[in-house]
Amino acid sequence: MTIPKELMLRLAREQRATAVNAEAMMWRALRGRRLGGFKFRRQVPIGRYIADFVCFEARLIVEIDGPSHDADLQQKRDASRDQWLEQQGFRIMRLSNDLVIGSPELATQRVARALRDCAASPHPVGSADHLLPQEEKGE
């Protein structure tokens, strides 16, 4: 099922405007290359999904999961989504809302460690350059 690009962009904008507290806290830690000089974007459409935070350079997606992600059906959807994103060349990191809100320093440290791991061992799946925004392709 293909979702029109314009619809995905509108949905991503809406999600940016209505970020939950944990997402807003994580964005403050990631924005402006504050974490090791890596550039993150938030609420980014990738295929038919919208990733919470993406670092294209490291091919890392950070997802902030609330209580709804504990349900069996949502876990199956998340697993399917993660599998597709991994096939596109991304690594997915999931952090709970509770961790981000209760211990933002620990959450940020975990993301920093994941970035180091990505830099040390690039994802074995091929490049996802076709998913990069035009301004990040060097064009």
Query: Residue 10: inside a domain, yes or no?
Result: yes
In this predicted structure, what is the pLDDT of residue 2? 73
Residue the block writes with tokens 């924005």: 31
Phi, psi of 7 (to 5 degrees): -65, -45
Residue 6 has what pLDDT? Answer: 75
| Domain region containing 99 | 5-119
pLDDT band at 67 (very low <50, low <70, confident <90, very high): low
The string of pLDDT tens digits covering residues 17-56 is 666 789 999 999 999 999 999 999 999 999 889 899 999 9
| Distance (Å, whole) CA 79 – CA 77 | 5
Q: Can you give the pTM of this predicted structure? A: 0.78
CA 101 to chain centre: 17
Q: For the chain, what is the domain count?
A: 1
Is residue 137 in some structural domain?
no
- Residue 73 sits in a domain whose CATH number is 3.40.960.10
Question: Identity (one letter) of the amino acid at 69?
Answer: H
Q: Do residues 20 and 27 touch, judged by C-beta distance below 8 A? A: no
Average pLDDT over residues 70-76: 75
- The answer to whether residue 138 is domain-embedded is no
Nearest alpha-carbon partner for 111 in 125, 123, 119, 48: 119
Using CA atoms, how far apart are residues 1 and 61, in angstroms rounded to an integer? 22
Helices (H), the chain: 5-17, 21-30, 72-87, 97-102, 104-120
**Does any domain span residue 35?**
yes
**129, part of any domain:** no
In a domain, 135, yes or no: no
Asked, for residue 42, whether it belongs to a domain, the answer is yes
Does residue 130 lie within any of the structural domains? no
